[in-house]
Amino acid sequence: MILTLSLALQNLLTYSVNLADNLMLGAYSETALSGSALCNQIQFLLQMLVVGAGEGAVVLGSQYWGKKDLQPIPHIIGAAIRFGGAMAAVMFLVVLLFPAQVLGLLTNDQAVIAEGVKYLQIICFTYVIFTVTNILTASLRSIGIVKIGYMISFSTLCINICLNYCLIYGHFGFPRLGIRGAAVATLISRCVELGIVVWYLKYREHLLNLSFKKLLHIDTSYIRDYKKVSLPVLFNQAQWGVAQMVQTGILGHMGAAAIAANSIATIVFQILSVVAYGAASASGITVGRTIGEGNNHKLRELVHTLQVLFLAIGVVSGALIFLARTPILSLYNISAEAHNLAMQFMLILAITTVGTSYQMACDNGIIRGGGDTKFSMKLNAVSMWCIVVPLSAIAAFALHWPPVAVFFLLKWDQLYKAIPVIIRLRSWKWVKKVTRPDAPPAPVQAT
């Protein structure tokens, strides 16, 4: 529970940064808000790729941690940084060279694209920095080190709010940069984040004793182990990120009001569902460690308790989203159409978040933490590309249904995916040891 709340607090601080951007740009201009929302979908794709690269290190690292064998972990982290860094570099080049073309895939509103390009040309320089920082912090989570996440997220929140206020509106003698100001603020925040991680690894982390030398000169035999665990997760996260961009593109072609409403509803959902995502991350680490310890009786009790916890979190999170709709929307300077759509979108999310909190946490937490990284990939491939995206596209472009109906079709998978997840959990076929059986134990040093 402590680990869950710790990760929930970190997620809350992280999403609060997005909310601050959202509120300040929403008060500045609805077009700027819509432009940044499209750019954030590209950031979301990167984030999903980074999660995929980092989760391979978390799954392997937590099981080695359970065996009290820490020697392989720096090699696994080095492999994760190589994979994640390469993907971030490719995305940086594509976005830097073709910003308007990339945004044109998400909307046909030229005013929104123009604002988005201003933001994207600056924010793309954060991609590699963001990737390295997040893979390092995710890897440290696998051995129970979470406090570095608070330091990073809190610093980013403070810096972002202050710089947004100065650079978006031109206060205290700073230039009035509008949407560019929000991008500059985020770039500076990301640089500070990386600086904090480097400082922490050098002066405060004494369990793994990570260094640039250890991360650069790794035992390449561990890359094979990492790829076996990580590639299914990476593929799953990549298809999820692409699917979210496709969903944004579907709504984006239904008008700027739909883009703005989707952006607001999504941020509110992220803020108010942080405990669910924290529980998923914490359960993955705890389940992996328990499997590494070889304690099957404890594992069964743990899985039962976690399922009840996930469902309770979902009910509470849904109620909070429903109650927060009116007070949060009163903070935005948006059109009546966008306001009404946001109210309807958040009502849908209040319902579907119950399913999200249960099935997502069971899937990405328990099942993935147990070593089964392929189930989620297969489930999401069928659900997203055979059901959600085709039905939503038909509803939007062939049947011309209203945005609220299309939005529901984009989110209803969060409810029905609970059925295959329950079946998989009860089969216990997801329990897989992914560590090397002959790995020599190493003493764990006190921090």
pLDDT in tens, 360-390: 889 888 888 888 878 888 898 899 899 999 9
Q: Looking at residue 340, what is its pLDDT?
A: 92
d(CA 38, CA 125): 17
Contact, 275 vs 8, CB < 8 A? yes
Which pLDDT belongs to residue 49? 83
Quote the CA–CA distance of 424 and 441 in Å, as a whole number.
Answer: 32
More confident position, 343 or 149: 343
Kindly state the tokens that stand for 67. Answer: 């065996």
Residues forming beta bridges with residue 431, ordered by sequence position: 371
Tokens of 419: 């059925």
Q: What is the mean pLDDT of the chain?
A: 82
Q: Give the pLDDT of residue 443.
A: 44
DSSP codes of every residue in 63-118: HHHHTT--TTHHHHHHHHHHHHHHHHHHHHHHHHH-HHHHHHTT---HHHHHHHHH
Per-residue burial over 205-240, b if 16 or more Cβ lie within 10 Å, else e, is bebbebeeebbeebeeebbebbeebbbbbbbbbbbb
User: For 120-151, what is each residue's pLDDT tens digit?
Assistant: 999 999 999 989 988 888 777 777 777 777 77
Which alpha helices (DSSP H) does 204-295 contain, by range?
212-216, 221-252, 256-272, 274-293
Per-residue pLDDT tens for 390-432?
A: 999 999 999 999 999 999 999 999 999 999 999 999 998 888 7
Percent above pLDDT 90 for the chain: 23
The pLDDT tens digits for 273-293 are 777 777 777 787 788 778 877
pTM of the model: 0.69
Q: Residue 290: its pLDDT value, please?
A: 84
Q: How far is CA 191 from CA 21, 60, 114, 184, 230, in A?
A: 17, 28, 26, 11, 27
Provide the pLDDT for residue 246.
83
Helices (H) and strands (E) in the chain, counts: 21, 0
Q: What per-residue confidence (pLDDT) applies to 289?
A: 77
pLDDT of residue 78: 84
Alpha-helix residue ranges (DSSP H) falling in 170-220: 179-203, 212-216
Residues 57-87 pLDDT 10s: 777 777 777 777 778 788 888 888 888 899 9
pLDDT range class, residue 440, cuts 50, 70, 90: very low
For 129, the enclosing helix (H) or strand (E) is helix 127-141
Among residues 90, 194, 206, the alpha carbon closest in space to that of 151 is found at 194
The residue with greater pLDDT, 194 or 432, is 194
Across 178-187, 207-216, 310-319, 327-336, least confident range: 207-216
In whole angstroms, give the CA distance from residue 49 to residue 237. 6
